């Protein structure tokens, strides 16, 4: 007997779509075909719906430990799972920062106890902890995160430190926040007396370009795999086209795809993030690159702060936006409008993250793969309201915007865990994920 059968659903892959039955047993996909014979403990009528793999969000900040008033593993993973994200990878700039095996293991225990979705943890570096990075990688870190420019948290990797990290025998996948610190300091000093200078001016696109230029040199010199996080400008895209490096992959974030500096000035600090929301020309260029296949993954960069923390003057307000609940609904809305294909969403948000982060049992709907699945009712739209959000910070820069509804059904490890945006489990079924060598 199967544990679950999904009948007559449109299965979406990066290459095509087929109407079929999908059966699940013992947490794995066990059958894909025209007519799943035999009984099942649960059956879902999939007619008129799409079936996508669970989303793998490789870029979240759940603020736990250290800043639990903004978010924690329970609230963040609940928000993620209700919205179709079945696996998250958490960044190291919590407090204390994740720069040692001791702190890595402490965070791992918190995630193990509290996370409702599958989880992995990034290792952090200041450029001077190579031995600890090796130990964290051996303990299952999904990658090594480098901050070339100061952002939220105390992590910063100077050029000398970056050389040390890139010179390591095996630092794992290197994820990079690419903004040049020297240029950020220079720009900030010029505008320090302006009460509302525009965040995209304080952290100019030229700083991102310079950081990516340095990265290209390092990757070619050391031949290390690099994943550029939250790329945001046309200049970065142009440089990467010229370089055409086989070592570099690229992430885009929904706030850079759906917001522009010209279009969200009324949001004030509620659109402040690092790197900034850019000009409309950059937003348009990013979309063109996405559709052309020049972007590899979509990551939410979910980085919540409370309303009270944002409702202060520009210079005091922290950078960061919540996004884990809106990333898939925004992309599905774009697909419904014809901006992008559903198969491309499957690739950007599931298949390519699994490939880049070496998770061979995730990211695709095939026999033998983990049964992390999303039943999507295409065409169902809503306007986002704060009452619909499960994130502890309780706001979004996309409030009032039309987007797709949350998935009709979310399946994690073969079990139904959410319906219509509401969790239906009271226990964690989550598992740790880590790269397979």
114, 112, 103: which is closest to 72 by C-alpha? 114
End-to-end alpha carbon distance in the chain: 34
Active site residue 3: no
With 0-12 / 13-18 / 19 or more C-beta atoms within 10 angstroms meaning exposed / middle / buried, residue 370 is buried
- CA pair distance 255, 258, nearest whole angstrom: 5
Choosing from 296, 301, 370, 372, the catalytic residue is 301
* CB proximity list for 173: less than 8 A, separation 6 or greater: 142, 143, 144, 225, 226, 227, 356, 357, 435
Q: 88 is written with which tokens? A: 């998250």
* Enzyme catalytic residues: 301
């Amino acid at each position: 007997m199967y544990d679950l059968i999904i009948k007559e659903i449109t299965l979406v892959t990066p290459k095509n779509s087929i109407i079929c039955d999908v059966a699940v047993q013992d947490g794995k996909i066990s059958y894909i075909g025209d007519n799943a014979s035999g009984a099942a403990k649960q059956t879902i009528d999939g007619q008129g719906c799409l079936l996508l793999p669970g989303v793998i969000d490789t870029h979240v900040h759940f603020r736990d430990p250290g800043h639990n008033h903004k978010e924690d593993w329970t609230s963040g993973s609940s928000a993620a799972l209700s919205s179709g994200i079945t696996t998250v990878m958490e960044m190291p700039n919590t407090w204390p920062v994740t720069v040692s095996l001791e702190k890595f293991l402490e965070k791992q225990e918190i995630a193990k106890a509290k996370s409702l979705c599958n989880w992995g943890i990034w290792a952090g570096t200041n450029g001077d902890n190579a031995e600890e990075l090796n130990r964290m990688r051996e303990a299952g870190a999904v990658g090594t995160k480098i901050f070339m420019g100061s952002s939220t948290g105390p992590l910063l990797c100077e050029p000398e430190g970056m050389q040390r990290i890139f010179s390591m025998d095996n630092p794992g996948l290197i994820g990079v926040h690419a903004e040049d610190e020297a240029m950020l300091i220079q720009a900030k000093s010029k505008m320090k007396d302006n009460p509302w200078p525009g965040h995209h001016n304080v952290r100019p696109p030229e700083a991102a370009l310079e950081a990516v230029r340095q990265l290209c040199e390092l990757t070619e010199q050391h031949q290390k795999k690099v994943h550029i996080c939250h790329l945001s400008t046309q200049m970065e895209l142009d440089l990467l086209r010229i370089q055409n490096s086989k070592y570099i992959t690229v992430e885009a974030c929904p706030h850079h795809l759906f917001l522009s500096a010209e279009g969200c000035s009324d949001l004030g600090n509620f659109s402040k993030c690092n790197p900034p929301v850019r000009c409309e020309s950059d937003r348009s260029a990013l979309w063109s690159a996405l559709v052309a296949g020049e972007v590899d993954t979509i990551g939410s960069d979910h980085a919540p702060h409370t309303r009270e923390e944002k409702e202060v003057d520009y210079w005091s307000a922290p950078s960061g936006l919540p996004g884990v609940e809106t990333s898939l609904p925004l992309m599905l809305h774009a697909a419904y409008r014809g901006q992008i294909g559903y198969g491309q969403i499957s690739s950007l948000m599931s298949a390519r993250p699994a490939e880049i982060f070496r998770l061979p049992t995730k990211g695709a709907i095939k026999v033998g793969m983990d049964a992390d699945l999303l039943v999507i009712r295409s065409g169902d739209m809503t306007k986002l309201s704060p009452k619909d959000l499960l994130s502890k910070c309780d706001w979004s820069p996309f409030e009032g915007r039309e987007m797709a509804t949350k998935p009709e059904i979310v399946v994690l490890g073969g079990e139904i865990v959410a319906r219509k945006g509401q969790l239906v489990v009271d226990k964690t079924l989550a598992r740790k994920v880590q790269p397979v060598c």
